[in-house]
Amino acid sequence: MSGDADARWQGMRVIARGANRVCVLDPDLPGHCLKYELRPQPGMRRYWRRRVRHALSRRFPRFGLNATELLAWRRLHARMGDDLLGRVAPCIGIVQTGAGTALRARLAADASGRPAPSIASLLGRGPGGFDPTALVLALDGFEAWLLANRIPLSDLNAGNLVVVERDGGLGLVCVDLKSTVSGRELVPLSRWAWPLMRAKIQRRCQRLRERIRAAAGVGTLADPPGLT
Ligand SMILES: Nc1ncnc2c1ncn2[C@@H]1O[C@H](COP(=O)(O)OP(=O)(O)O)[C@@H](O)[C@H]1O
Ligand SMILES: [Mg+2]
């Protein structure tokens, strides 16, 4: 998940790179972004699995990550409609561009239209670069919303959530819904059994809270030196 104000990919402004895709500003539609699937690189986690899937998606687009995310969005949107507004970045569709096939999505942006930073990029700023209390509050709110609506978003990593200002505080917007339809488990039990999924969401949120506190230098594990 890297973000660099001047980075370009195929001539387009890079917003950030995830583990699988590069996300760029849509040059044809203001307020939107395009996501391109990247060829998996040796050494990545689950390399062979990713490699086979990537190869298959060339012939059968439904195996692609963009198709998975679009399906996830359509299913969730069919169920929840406008209740998703402000919580999930809407997917628009698959588009053919000069640089290849992409998923077009609405840009999660700040008040001036710039791409909202992911939690990962905020944490990368280090202590003082973000407000950990406001961020943890935003995460608490997002977790409560997921649980109240039984949304099986299991991949709660710091790159999949971007941070926006909301009601004088911070709010989170999910920009990657893939995990709501494609579990990693061999037997994706938690997809059907809500209590397991709920526990998983709670675990992942807790891990994220700990990362936020650690990055802010406010870990709760150690007392400052000198205290007995
Ligand atoms: N709709 C969006 N609005 C703003 N930024 C986005 C959006 N979608 C993705 N991004 C940025 O691109 C990064 C990678 O996107 P993601 O969909 O998570 O790709 P991957 O499939 O590689 O995980 C995110 O961490 C985020 O910074
Ligand atoms: Mg992601």
Q: Is 183 buried (19+), middle (13-18) or exposed (0-12) by CB count in 10 A?
A: middle
CA 116 – ligand 1 centroid, Å = 10
pLDDT at residue 4 greater than cutoff 90: no
Is 37 a pocket residue for ligand 1 (Cβ < 6 Å)?
no
- What pLDDT is recorded for position 2? 47
Average pLDDT, the chain: 90
Instruction: Tell me which residue of 19, 17, 30, 10 sits closest to 101, measured CA to CA.
Output: 10
Q: Which fold has domain 8-216?
A: Transferase(Phosphotransferase); domain 1 (1.10.510)
- For the CA of 155, the nearest ligand: 2
Interaxial angle between packed helices 194-216 and 132-148, expressed in degrees from 0 to 180 and rounded to the nearest 10 = 170
DSSP bridge pairs for 95 = 102
- What pLDDT is recorded for position 219? 58
- What pLDDT is recorded for position 128? 93
- What pLDDT is recorded for position 60? 83
C-alpha distances in angstroms, 56 versus 36, 65, 206?
16, 11, 35
Is 1 a pocket residue for ligand 1 (Cβ < 6 Å)?
yes
* More confident of the two residues 140 and 53: 140
Mean pLDDT across 173-199: 77
Tell me the domain boundaries of the chain: 8-216
What is the gyration radius of the CA atoms in the chain, in angstroms? 18
137-173, pLDDT tens digit by residue? 999 999 999 999 999 999 999 999 999 999 899 999 9
CA 220 – ligand 1 centroid, Å = 30
pLDDT at residue 67 greater than cutoff 90: yes
- What pLDDT is recorded for position 210? 97
68-119, pLDDT tens digit by residue? 999 999 999 999 999 999 999 999 999 999 999 999 999 999 999 999 999 9
pLDDT at residue 45 greater than cutoff 90: no
- For the CA of 66, the nearest ligand: 1
187 φ/ψ sector (left φ>0, alpha ψ -120 to 50, else beta): beta
pLDDT at residue 185 greater than cutoff 90: no
Minimum-distance ligand 1 atom for the alpha carbon of 121: 27
- What pLDDT is recorded for position 218? 79
- pTM of the model as a whole: 0.91
Is 108 a pocket residue for ligand 1 (Cβ < 6 Å)?
yes
- What pLDDT is recorded for position 190? 56
pLDDT at residue 192 greater than cutoff 70: no
- What pLDDT is recorded for position 16? 97
Mean pLDDT across 184-204: 76
The length of the chain is: 228
CA distance 65 to 34: 13
pLDDT at residue 228 greater than cutoff 60: no
Q: What confidence tier does 5 reach under pLDDT thresholds 50, 70, 90? A: low
Q: Which residues contact 84 (CB under 8 A, 6 or more apart)?
A: 76, 77, 90
CA distance 157 to 211: 10
